[in-house]
Amino acid sequence: MAYRIRITPQNKSITAKKNELLADKIQESGINLSLYCNKRGLCGKCLVKIVEGKLPPLKKMEEFLLEQKKLKKNYRLSCLYKIKGDLSIEIPEESIIQEALILKTGIKLSLPLDPAVKKYHLQLKKPEVSSPYSLMELFKQHFKEKNLSIPLALLKDMGKILNKSRYHVTAAVHKDREILSIEPLNTLSQNFGISIDIGTTTLVVELLDLNTGEIVDTLTGMNSQVKYGTDVISRLSYALLEEKNSEELRDSIIKTLNRMIARLLKKKKIDSSSVYEVVAAGNTSMNHLLLGVPVETLAAAPFNPVFTCLPELSAHASGLKINKLGKVYIAPNIKSFVGGDISAGLVATDLEKKKGNFLYIDLGTNGEIVLKKGKEFVATSTAAGPAFEGMNISCGMLALPGAIYKAEYKDNNLKTFVIENRAASGICGTGLIDIISISLEKGEISPKGTIQNKRKRIDVCANIFLTQKDVREMQLAISAIKTGIKMILQETNVKLGEIDGIYIAGAFGNYLNIKNSMTIGLLPQIDKEKIIFIGNASLAGARAFLLSKQAREKIESLVKRVQFVSLATKPSFQENFIDALEFTGQV
Amino acid sequence: MAYRIRITPQNKSITAKKNELLADKIQESGINLSLYCNKRGLCGKCLVKIVEGKLPPLKKMEEFLLEQKKLKKNYRLSCLYKIKGDLSIEIPEESIIQEALILKTGIKLSLPLDPAVKKYHLQLKKPEVSSPYSLMELFKQHFKEKNLSIPLALLKDMGKILNKSRYHVTAAVHKDREILSIEPLNTLSQNFGISIDIGTTTLVVELLDLNTGEIVDTLTGMNSQVKYGTDVISRLSYALLEEKNSEELRDSIIKTLNRMIARLLKKKKIDSSSVYEVVAAGNTSMNHLLLGVPVETLAAAPFNPVFTCLPELSAHASGLKINKLGKVYIAPNIKSFVGGDISAGLVATDLEKKKGNFLYIDLGTNGEIVLKKGKEFVATSTAAGPAFEGMNISCGMLALPGAIYKAEYKDNNLKTFVIENRAASGICGTGLIDIISISLEKGEISPKGTIQNKRKRIDVCANIFLTQKDVREMQLAISAIKTGIKMILQETNVKLGEIDGIYIAGAFGNYLNIKNSMTIGLLPQIDKEKIIFIGNASLAGARAFLLSKQAREKIESLVKRVQFVSLATKPSFQENFIDALEFTGQV
């Protein structure tokens, strides 16, 4: 016999058979019901109001919840409700799953909120003499999880906390398997995580509310490892000099991150013990140096990282100061120098789900290129050198206040734009690309990169100029990317015309001028609409990993499927690279 | 079509279908083939000699093994061999699974050797530029285990070890899931574990060879926590006095154990890094104090332990000095004061498998009694006090050299036996039982325990005697056990005549005189043959857990099934206890 179930305010009507689970039926109807605890009757997030229909006796958890939330007696947990007749129900807004915004630059991506760390508010039953269960068993029984683990340090605190709070506590649980914290009374509202983009130059630390997925605050700072070398290669070289250097590099960045985390928490008056997880995304080298893992095998051919996917580590062991039993998740490295920043970006763009062929390009000291061809993924990396970040350029600088980030040539006049509108103190990557493109069009530079008319330099504005050597540095950087794109298309037999979109990630962001980039050949000649700047996709991906454990599962399986093309070992690499040195549009 | 397989030297003949696995068929034939790595082709322990029949090309692992073991080319791994025709094979003795002797006192128990820590000797393939796998993936691929975890500390050493040894290493793996150690070249022969019996008074530490199951050496010492209280209750009281005391008690025993372990290793010239696991079995309180887990909830009604079954812990976190990534397994507590020493004993006797009804009694400061009734298990504990260990007795002492451990009355003469045949300096538990039984039979003590003829004391020998208070102490201890046995039988509706055997565990060992114990009522009146002394079953169980991970699985499931009877809360307890004070045989 089929029963009818009317659902408001969504105004749906569905049928159900006897003993079917109300939660299942609501989900089947297309409503995104919040099933935070996986239908185990533990979180209270799938409460619905039974407007008409059978009201079974309240279960213990329901009694506790209705009292806590001060709700009327006609609310029930839909994951515990077996259908026995016609029903009319109302689904409160709080029972609908929340979506967290992951990416909003270029394209939008939201994910259902399903963090690895979840908090549960519980009233445990104090054991009696006749049933002297261990305290640990009380939790195992409550969570219906016989393999639930509780770290030794927590076992040491547990008795006192339970006694003090009369067994009324909140537990933070990692992946439903490990309790990270037991806190007296109701601390559900205090559940935070931190996502970090570990750039070679810049660190971005973001504090997130794991209950809502909202960004509470963000802080940007310099990667303190810069003092050991501005680019990846020199930093790896430093790590290799002496055995202790790996740990020194690690200590340096961990100290900086801890200072940044502490500043964010202080500003928002949040205790570090309410932060249960950190997700960090960096390139392969940064990921290794963050953990103090030696890089001997990464720095020399065949360039083996020590790890790609790591299970969550202890935050304490990593040195990061959050909850003493908190976790750290490292965005998985893909292969060699295609690292966690790229895997984070793939997740932030949900590239796997898109139909067609796409290029994902991260423009930085190291250029990483991923081609999605149908369902296949092929990745490569190419050493562009630090020119794009303004390094090794006479008047180059990072994209900081005072940097020329944009230039236009209009009415015989070179107009420059400076970050924060200050007096120009140098040129950053996007500015360099504009100036070279303009000089090329004006004929001040030949397509081969030679400054014309026997001049020694190209003047930009007072005291700011480009030398012949600067142009050569840019030629090398651009050629690296150009060759990478050309060869990955060749290797996979994909024509430029078959590309449905190019995602550009990296610090360049929206300031990269597409037309100019195409003029000098940095980007291939393709419909401008198909080029999408997605900004800091590494940070967005770290956020995705923090807010959705599904995102972790997805990338861990995708990473294994990504094929790798090693450019340097291809016989045609040198030839292509030399060809590409010329400032001409890509074919 | 059926093929014929002849097996020597076992002289068996079996049939097999095409493509069946040779290892499976050998096992089915009743031969205990060693499948150490679970038929994954990793350990090389199931090698057989193909005397007649097809010889498929050698697989990489086989090539490596045959070269290492200097065997002829007609050996194959039976777990990789698919049957394609008639065969005649020879199974070398090394390919037969080894059994480890667990218990030899009273009854014998052997278990197939299947330790949690296994070592594998491997030649990994160095990755190439075109396939830049991470070092971690090399191990995952080799062990065919995608969830294989490698601790961060090991990731830090891995690159160097692999480079140094040219990817020729030995890995110690815990439960096939976590690598504990990667060592250059072949270190298969160095694989040790330690089992410990944590008595309230005495510690026994045993060094075992995990390859053979043999006891390499044993050391006995005093539990240094004795200085904080000789019995469990006073030790718990000390732990409760101040918060730091738990850790102080922990530090004390850990230091002692580390000294004992170091002495054993030094004597046998074994490096502590070759010891990968410790198993400790103690009563519930000792288990908590070993880990520094506070005992507030255990020391007061309703007497909740903090933990019963714990997953393997990090040895480093426990403070025990073995391999830096080694593990510690704690024999599971059952309920309240029925602890890991008892669960270890249940495994050492394999009580679950025996048909019929059995009593398992551990005689000590705390008396634990487990009744097996068919398939049911019921446990209780009863506080006997320290009299059995010679405490609170005027001339009492531990069973150390100089203690009277046995007494006989013959030809009007009391003959005493002293440990190590020295001059008597006191009486230990078994001696006390003999002397009281003799005094009772001689009429020097009345059945109610009163010393007769207005005498103040019972003289044993020069300067050694029992006072009225001493007799009372013994009455209390004996009554506790007597009441426990009586009530557990009552509760479960089992008559004494239905008991098929009584296992007596504990330090008393063989020195307990059965007739005398029955005379004073410590043991029930039952056919003497049914009483079996099993000695230190706690240590034997710890050994079983160390040598067989199956033993761990078994006890973890059994522990959940054990019901608990709390004697103290039964209304009839007081009455039974007072009745039992009288020195008469149990009914």
Pick from B128, B149, B156, B562 the residue to mutate for testing the A interface (most A CBs within 10 Å): B156
CB contact under 8 A, A129 and B566: yes
CB contact under 8 A, A132 and B292: no
Residue B80 DSSP SS3: coil
DSSP state of B178: E
CB contact under 8 A, A130 and B160: no
CB contact under 8 A, A568 and B302: no
Q: Which two structure tokens, joined as six digits, stand for A384?
A: 């562009």
Nearest to A306 among B158, B333, B569 (CB): B158
Encode pLDDT of B546-555 as tens digits. Answer: 999 999 999 9
- So what's the pLDDT on residue B453? 87
Does the pLDDT value for residue A125 go beyond 70?
yes
Encode pLDDT of A516-550 as tens digits. Answer: 999 999 999 999 999 999 989 999 999 999 999 99
DSSP state of B57: P
Cα A468 → chain centroid: 39
Using the structure block, give the residue that is written with the tokens 């078959």.
A498
Of the listed ranges A318-332, A524-538, B124-138, B436-450, the one predicted with least confidence: B124-138
pLDDT-derived band at A159, boundaries 50, 70, 90: very high
Nearest to A564 among B132, B162, B310 (CB): B132
Does the pLDDT value for residue B29 go beyond 70?
yes
Pairing of strands A202-209, A215-222: antiparallel
Mean pLDDT computed over B464-476: 95
Encode pLDDT of B40-53 as tens digits. Answer: 999 989 999 999 99
d(CA B565, CA B338): 11
Closest-CA residue in chain B for A299? B159
Nearest to A137 among B158, B163, B308 (CB): B308
CB contact under 8 A, B134 and A568: no
CB contact under 8 A, A159 and B294: yes
Mean pLDDT computed over B456-482: 94
CB contact under 8 A, A293 and B155: yes
pLDDT-derived band at A586, boundaries 50, 70, 90: low
d(CA B286, CA B280): 10
Total residues belonging to chain A:
587
Using an 8 Å Cβ cutoff, are B223 and B198 in contact? yes
Using an 8 Å Cβ cutoff, are B142 and B122 in contact? yes
Residue B550 DSSP SS3: helix
The nearest CA of chain A is from the CA of B415 a distance in Å of 46
Alpha helices in B216-326 (DSSP H): 232-241, 245-268, 284-291, 296-299, 315-318
**Residue B481, number of CB atoms within 10 A of its CB:** 24
Encode pLDDT of B400-447 as tens digits. Answer: 889 999 999 999 999 999 999 999 999 999 999 999 999 999 999 999
**Rg, Å, chain B Cα set:** 28
Size of interface A-B (CB pairs under 8 A): 138
B-chain residues near A245 (CB < 8 A)? none
Beta-bridged to residue A410, according to DSSP, are: A413
The nearest CA of chain B is from the CA of A560 a distance in Å of 10
What angle do the packed helices A284-291 and B152-165 form, to 10 degrees?
A: 110
A-chain residues near B294 (CB < 8 A)? 156, 159-160
d(CA A416, CA A423): 10
CB contact under 8 A, A134 and B313: no
CB contact under 8 A, A132 and B303: yes
Ramachandran area for residue B412 (φ above 0: left; ψ -120 to 50: alpha; else beta): left
Does the pLDDT value for residue A307 go beyond 90?
yes
pLDDT cut 90: percent of chain A above it: 78
The nearest CA of chain B is from the CA of A300 a distance in Å of 10
CB contact under 8 A, A307 and B129: no
A-chain residues near B136 (CB < 8 A)? 306-308, 310
Using the structure block, give the residue that is written with the tokens 């990793």.
B42
DSSP state of A402: T
- So what's the pLDDT on residue A138? 94
B-chain residues near A335 (CB < 8 A)? 132-133
B-chain residues near A303 (CB < 8 A)? 129, 132
- How many helices and strands in chain B, by DSSP H and E? 16, 27
Alpha helices in B1-103 (DSSP H): 22-28, 60-69
CB contact under 8 A, B136 and A162: no
CB contact under 8 A, B135 and A292: no
- So what's the pLDDT on residue A450? 94
Task: Tell the burial category of B453 from Cβ atoms under 10 Å away from its Cβ (0-12, 13-18, 19+).
Answer: exposed
B-chain residues near A156 (CB < 8 A)? 246, 291-294
Closest-CA residue in chain A for B284? A134
Encode pLDDT of B472-510 as tens digits. Answer: 999 999 999 999 999 999 999 999 999 999 999 987 767
CB contact under 8 A, B152 and A302: no
CB contact under 8 A, B246 and A156: yes
CB contact under 8 A, A297 and B137: no
CB contact under 8 A, A303 and B129: yes
Using an 8 Å Cβ cutoff, are B6 and B88 in contact? yes
Nearest to B127 among A304, A307, A310 (CB): A304
The nearest CA of chain B is from the CA of A362 a distance in Å of 20
Nearest to B335 among A132, A335, A568 (CB): A132
Encode pLDDT of A52-82 as tens digits. Answer: 999 999 998 899 999 988 999 999 999 999 9
The nearest CA of chain A is from the CA of B259 a distance in Å of 23
d(CA A363, CA A353): 23
Does the pLDDT value for residue B145 go beyond 90?
no
Encode pLDDT of B97-126 as tens digits. Answer: 888 888 888 788 899 999 999 999 999 998
Angle at A558 between CA B132 and CA A338, to 5 degrees: 40
Does the pLDDT value for residue B450 go beyond 70?
yes
Closest-CA residue in chain B for A127? B302
Residue B453 DSSP SS3: coil
Task: Give me the phi and psi of A239, to 5 degrees please.
Answer: -60, -30
Q: Which two structure tokens, joined as six digits, stand for A142?
A: 């409550």
The nearest CA of chain A is from the CA of B181 a distance in Å of 15
The nearest CA of chain A is from the CA of B288 a distance in Å of 9
Nearest to A130 among B294, B307, B566 (CB): B566
How high does pLDDT run on average in chain B? 93
pLDDT cut 70: percent of chain A above it: 99
Does the pLDDT value for residue A444 go beyond 90?
yes
- So what's the pLDDT on residue A587? 54
CB contact under 8 A, B160 and A296: yes
Nearest to B132 among A159, A313, A336 (CB): A336
CB contact under 8 A, B564 and A317: no
A-chain residues near B160 (CB < 8 A)? 294, 296
The nearest CA of chain A is from the CA of B335 a distance in Å of 6
- So what's the pLDDT on residue B587? 53
The residue ranking higher by pLDDT, A566 or A502, is A502
DSSP state of B365: S
The nearest CA of chain B is from the CA of A184 a distance in Å of 17
**Rg, Å, chain A Cα set:** 28
Does the pLDDT value for residue A227 go beyond 80?
yes
The nearest CA of chain B is from the CA of A161 a distance in Å of 11
Mean pLDDT computed over A413-434: 94
pLDDT-derived band at B586, boundaries 50, 70, 90: low
- So what's the pLDDT on residue A7? 95
How high does pLDDT run on average in chain A? 93
ipTM of the complex: 0.86
Using an 8 Å Cβ cutoff, are B296 and A159 in contact? yes
Task: Tell the burial category of A493 from Cβ atoms under 10 Å away from its Cβ (0-12, 13-18, 19+).
Answer: exposed
The nearest CA of chain B is from the CA of A294 a distance in Å of 6
Using an 8 Å Cβ cutoff, are B440 and B520 in contact? yes
Residue A565 CB-half CA count within 13 A: 25
CB contact under 8 A, B152 and A566: no
Angle at A221 between CA A216 and CA A225, to 5 degrees: 135
Specify the pTM.
0.90
Q: Which two structure tokens, joined as six digits, stand for A398?
A: 């990072």
- So what's the pLDDT on residue A506? 82
B-chain residues near A310 (CB < 8 A)? 136
CB contact under 8 A, A155 and B293: yes
Closest-CA residue in chain A for B315? A152
**Residue B160, number of CB atoms within 10 A of its CB:** 14
